[in-house]
Amino acid sequence: MSYPTVPAYIQTPKGWESRLKEHPVFDWMYDHHLLFDSGEMKTTPYNVWHTDDFTFTKSDGVTIAPGEQSWAVMWEQYAPFTKFTHEPAWLVIWETATGWELTGYARLFANLPVPGESIHEDVDGNKWDVQGHGMFQFTYVKDPSGPKGIKMGTFKLFADPTPLFGEMIKRGMISGEDLLAKLA
- Tens place of pLDDT for every residue, the chain, 184 residues? 888 899 999 999 999 999 999 999 999 999 999 999 999 999 999 999 999 999 999 999 999 999 999 999 999 999 999 999 999 999 999 999 999 999 999 999 999 999 998 899 999 999 999 999 999 999 999 999 999 999 999 999 999 888 888 899 999 998 888 777 776 6
Instruction: Please tell me the predicted confidence (pLDDT) of residue 27.
Output: 97
pLDDT for residue 85: 97
Reported pTM: 0.91
Give me the residue spans of the domains in the chain: 8-159
* Phi, psi of 40, deg, nearest 5: -60, -30
Distance between CA atoms of 85 and 15, rounded to whole angstroms? 10
Residue 179 DSSP symbol? H
Q: How far apart are CA 7 and CA 106, in angstroms?
A: 22
Question: What is the pLDDT at residue 2?
Answer: 86
Contacts of 20 (CB under 8 A, 6+ apart): 11, 13, 26, 27, 30, 88, 91
The DSSP letter of residue 117 is -
Question: Beta 50-57 vs 150-159: how paired, if at all?
Answer: parallel
Q: Which residues sit opposite 152 in a β-bridge? A: 50, 140
CATH number listed for the domain at residues 8-159: 3.10.450.50
